[in-house]
Amino acid sequence: MADRFRITLGQLNPTVGDLAGNAAQAAAAWAEGRDAGADLVALPEMFIAGYNAQDLVMKPAFQRDVMTHIETLAAACADGPALAIGAPIVEEGKLYNAYLVLKGGKIASRVLKHHLPNETVFDEVRIFDSGPLGGPYSVGNTRIGSPICEDAWHEDVAETLAETGAEFLLVPNGSPYYRGKFDTRMNHMVARVVETELPLIYLNMVGGQDDQIFDGASFGLNQGGKLAFQMPAFDAVTQHVDLERGPEGWRIIEGEKAVHQDAYAQDYRVMVQGLRDYMRKTGFKKVLLGMSGGIDSAIVATIAVDALGAENVRCVMLPSEYTSKASLEDAEACANALGARYDYVPIKQGRDAITETLAPLFEGTKPDLTEENIQSRLRGLLLMALSNKFGEMLLTTGNKSEVAVGYATIYGDMAGGYNPIKDLYKMRVFETCRWRNANHAEWMMGPKGAVIPDNIITKAPSAELRDDQKDSDSLPDYPELDAMLEILVDRDGSIDDCVAAGFDRDVAKKVEHLVYISEYKRFQSAPGPRLTKGAFWLDRRYPIVNRWRDPS
């Protein structure tokens, strides 16, 4: 029996629905493995289709096209190492999330996912059928067990594989990022290693798909849960991993152990990568955004420049009579520091025309929120006109605090195709700005240094839709608001939980009410990268019509 086994791991970035492109990536990884003398080239879960493909995989024409590409790929990779790749397959009228082993020009083995996740962003119970508990597959005379993603979070699949002769575990994943996710994964995988006494290789994909960003960070564990190697987070790479057979079975030969960055760096990378991939995979090249002189548009502009390069970012100041001199100066200073284009488009003339048009209908009424929102909606109209004219995707800039309580104007500042800070609370926006001013990495396309002026970070937040307006006129101060929202939204807590944390009951009830009545706005809002398990979209799904309030 062979004493060494080489696996080429493809920690790569597929695109949902790009079957030809994903197959080409798989073929390129296979060629690297062949040239390096690999026995097996492995790719992540559902790689050929892209992940998370949602209802697309239920379409019969898509299923047939997947199999056409799998058969073509198998034929192209007939002579050389086996190729393991995730794909949706149909057998006897049932649709499975499968892991296929291609060898000799055909599908030599297949694994069917048993445990189907049905929480947070996953609806696999609705889409796939559950496969049976099965045994390992063979590559040469080596028996490999491949629990597919969620299957490795449960002990029964790995134990069954160990009991039926698996010599090590190779776990293909489509595991999206949320803050702290790596530690959760590691804890589960260490448990599988301890239970089975088998080495384990955890292979994850990278890249953005709508709101989900896959962070890679693949790794290997030897017996006892000892870390053997760790691949970098977020980078698309292939890596050759060797296993050696000894008296006590297989052992992963130790390799490089990439160091993970802190949570602020990881979150920022997710926002940059999410925007970059959303643009690339949808075909957009350039973006624009309304640049107000406030902190939210400043961080979004910075993310955009880091993701796409300054030459692909347009910042547009749309002042009214309420726009302060400081905001004008700060917006221009930030755009200039980033090297982005800066346009100045006053809204007074358009606003006067709208006011005159509505005057007969508004006669006898007093100015109120309506007139404030006209400013925001006029800005949205002008920005969308620029977007249409120049083919630049409009970014919206509402932070999670505002998105949660509806402190944003639908069809106004909510207009746009993508929101990079949708899952970033206001206080974390402040800290992220400070972090970016102090840090730079090679994956950032923007300049080094303090690109966000200090005045933007330190001044009181304001929508500047009326004289002397402050966000605190309408909302609790952001430290208190964010803390309550974290309880009510991220932890799905109660009013009593807010009170126990030291907050006034009536204020907590007001915040809860704002969250519920803003559901219709979020339903129509742009997608944005998921940073937490309490993100607005697939993580948290509430009815728009909802009369219930916490009675406590």
Active centre residues (catalytic): 45, 113, 149
Smallest CA-to-CA distance from 405 within 471, 358, 327, 466 is with 471
Phi-psi region of 502 (alpha: psi -120 to 50; beta: other; left: phi over 0): left
110 touches 99 (CB < 8 A): yes
Count of CB atoms situated within 10 Å of the CB of 499: 15
Could you identify the residue written with the tokens 């406590």?
552
Q: Which residues pair with 175 in a beta bridge?
A: none
> Of all helices (H) and strands (E), which one includes residue 143?
strand 142-145
- Host H or E run for residue 68: helix 60-76
The residue among 191, 202, 201, 133 whose CA lies nearest residue 167 is 201
C-alpha atoms less than 13 angstroms from C-alpha of 236 in its C-beta half-sphere: 15
Q: From the centroid of its chain, how far is CA 424?
A: 12
Rounded distance between C-alpha atoms, residue 22 and residue 19, angstroms: 5
Structure-token match 């086994």, residue found: 5
Closest residue by Cα to residue 126 from 176, 57, 61, 62 = 57
Distance CA 421, CA 404 (A): 12
